[in-house]
Amino acid sequence: MKRFAAVVASLAIISLSIWFTASRDTAQERGEDGGSGDAGFVLACSADLQALCEDLATLADGLSVTVVAPDATVASYLAGEGPDAWLTAAPWPGILQTRATVAGTPRSLVGADDGLAQQTVDLVVTEGWRSALATRCGDPVDWVCLVDAVGRPAAELGAATNGVFKLGIAQPTGIDGVAALGAALHGWFTSPSVNLAAYDRLDFEDRFAVPLSTLRRNGGNDRDPFNLVVTRPGTYGATLTLGGQRRLTDLADLGRDDLTLRVLALQSTATARLVLVAPTEAARSEAFRRIGRDDIVERAAQHGWSAADDSPAGLPDPALLDLLITKWMDR
C-alpha cells in the first residue's frame, strides 16, 4: 500500500471516530457543562488507547474526547485543524514535528517530553519457537539474530514446529506498530554485532533495507498481531508488542491458562511514553484542568501503563522513524 493510501485510510478513520462527551456528576447537578461552561474543548485520543480513553471520558469535565488513529491526528494538525489537545504516546509528537518541518510549516506541541506513564515493547513468543530462539539468539535475545531469523524455516532454526519464522509487527499507523518497528531498528543498530549507536539515514538505507524488507514480508500486514497469535495460533512465531507481558497477564486473569505464550527478554528495551500535548501551554493547562493529570496517571496504571521514568526510550530519532514508516507503508 502506498503512503498516500495509508494517509487516506487514516483520514477516513476520523469520520468513524467514536465520540464521548462527559461531564462530572457535580457539574450536571449544577446544570453546568463543566469548567468554564465550554464543552467544545476537544481532546484527541490515539486509537490504541481507546479503552483508557473511554474510562477517562467518564471523568471529563466539559471535555469532548475523540478516539482517532495517531496518523490521522498528525494529518489534521498539519492541515491546521488539529484538536485542542492530544493524548498519545511519544514518539508521535516528534513525528508530527518532523512532517511539519518537511512540509515547510514548522510546528511543535507542548508537553512532548513530559511522560505521564510508559509501556515497554515485549517479545512474545509461541511455544514451538521459544527454545530455538533462546538457543540461537541468547538470553536476552540479540536483535540482529532475531531479525536474521525472520523468514527462515523451522528446521534451519532448530524449532519444534513447522513453517518459517514470522515476527508480527503492527502496522506503524498507531502507537504499538511505531514502537515495535522503532525498537527493531534501534535494537539492530545498537546490538554488539553491529555496534553503531550513532547511526543515521545513510546507515539506515545502506544497511537496514534488506532486514526491513524481510520483516515486512513476514509479519507486517495486521493491526494487532498479538491478537492473531491468541486467536489463530500459527499465524506468527512471535510478536513485538507494546505491553506484551501485561496483555498475557490480562489473558491469564480471564482464565486463558491454555495459552503457551511467553515473553523473552530482549538485549535492549524500547519504551513508549504516554503524553498529553497541545499547540500551546495554555491549551495543555486547560486540558489538565478539565481532566486531572493525576486522574490520567491513575487510570493509565489500571490499563497496564507503568510509572514514567527518565530511562532512554530506546527508539530512533523521530525523523528516522518517519522514514521507517514511509518505507514500511510503501509496498
CA distance 320 to 208: 12
| 94: three-class secondary structure by DSSP | helix
Has residue 323 been placed in a domain?
no
Q: What's the start-to-end Cα distance of the chain, in Å?
A: 5
CATH number of the domain at 302, please: 3.40.190.10
Look at the chain and report how many structural domains it folds into. Answer: 2
Has residue 315 been placed in a domain?
no
CA distance 70 to 321: 14
Co-location of 111 and 217 in the same domain: no
- DSSP per residue, 166-222: -EE---TTSHHHHHHHHHHHHHHHHSTTT--TT--HHHHHHHSHHHHHHHHHTT-S-
Residue 15 has what pLDDT? 34
Q: Average pLDDT in the 61-67 region? A: 86
Has residue 294 been placed in a domain?
yes
Co-location of 7 and 42 in the same domain: yes
CA proximity to 179, closest of 12, 43, 331, 48: 48
Co-location of 79 and 124 in the same domain: no
pLDDT at 312 over 70: yes
Instruction: Print the domain residue range for 169.
Output: 119-271
Q: What is the pTM of this model?
A: 0.86
Q: Average pLDDT in the 288-307 region? A: 95
Co-location of 291 and 230 in the same domain: no
List pLDDT tens digits, range 72-120.
999 999 999 899 999 999 999 999 999 999 999 988 899 999 999 999 9
